Amino acid sequence: MFYALCPMGTGGVFLSTQKPEHSGVVLVFLAAILYSLGGLCIKVIPWSSLSINSGRNLISLVVIGMYLWRMGHRPRFNPWIGLGAVAICGTNTLFTLANKMTTAANTIVLQFTAPIFVLLLTALVWRRFPRRGELVACGVVVLGVLCFFVDSLQAGGMAGNVVALLSGFTYAGVFLLQDMPDSDPISSVFWGNVCSSIIGLPWLVQESEITPVSLISLVVLGVFQVGLAYILLTQGLARTSAVTASLVSGIEPILNPILVALFYHETIGPVSLLGAGIVIGGVVGYNVWKTKADTAQAVTKNS
């Protein structure tokens, strides 16, 4: 990858690239795979959710700090970056809370209402209305999500489901980081992780049940599921739209409960498996449609 540091309005910098948009899709896809490790790792750590969230974000700050140092990029702050940090912190905290309150399948599936919130927010705030193909793709993805919802809702507590749904709203804000005025997504990630670390620190220092499995899982969460995943996502968002990114990340609600089912023995029913196929089909179909639509639009402009 070839990145350049480009000036922003307030004297800061952000990362840009000359790569085509499909590379952004690949980066978002890889980030979603890393995010999918969260359900399993959180389940196997016998700590409170706030302790886990604080610990993993402290580790992720080392990863993100090294990345910022390597890129010569000093974290910036302004109200919009702060709003992005709130979205990051909310997503981190609510996701971890929900994973301890309900099943991993419920948590990730309800969080994946994010594409719907993205469409609503982009229409209401930025007045960018979705194309027909985007609406169809969201409808297909929601159908797949409902299959998971029907199959797993009865296994989890209602409070956990509500928390997971709220995390879907904050997760939408994460996908909109690049669209905010005078934004700097990686700075939002940095400050959001700082806040996440501080919030759970009083609980973290009280944890006494420290095992090799807990420590390894916490490192995996911090290095890969938070640190590296957010770096990949911010780079991907710089090259693709929020709607596309939120739909491409549809692999996460598939892999997350599958990993938990395999290694933590939370089962996945047949309706959920059907939902998995629908979500994957919707995401793949959307990207095929988008490629054709963008190509046709480019031909029309050049003719």
| Pairwise CA distance, residues 261 & 298, whole Å | 44
Maximum average pLDDT range among 30-39, 99-108, 176-185: 30-39
Q: Which pLDDT score, from 0 to 100, does residue 133 have? A: 81
Q: How many domains are there within the chain? A: 1
CB 133 within 8 Å of CB 285:
no
Instruction: Please tell me which residue, 103 or 268, carries the higher pLDDT value.
Output: 103
CA 122 → CA 43, 51, 177, 178, 189, distances in Å? Answer: 34, 34, 12, 12, 20
| Pairwise CA distance, residues 144 & 279, whole Å | 5
Domain-located, residue 302? no
Q: Which pLDDT score, from 0 to 100, does residue 76 have? A: 95
| Pairwise CA distance, residues 36 & 251, whole Å | 8
- Kindly give, in sequence order, each residue whose CB lies less than 8 Å from that of residue 30, ignoring residues fewer than 6 positions away: 232
| Pairwise CA distance, residues 141 & 150, whole Å | 14
For 149, other C-beta atoms within 10 Å of its C-beta total 19
Could you tell me the residue range of the domain that residue 143 belongs to?
Answer: 27-204+215-295
Domain-located, residue 20? no
Amino acid identity, position 64 = I
Which H or E run includes 265?
none
CB 222 within 8 Å of CB 59:
yes
Tens of pLDDT, residue by residue over 156-201, are: 567 887 898 899 899 999 988 888 888 899 999 999 999 999 999 9
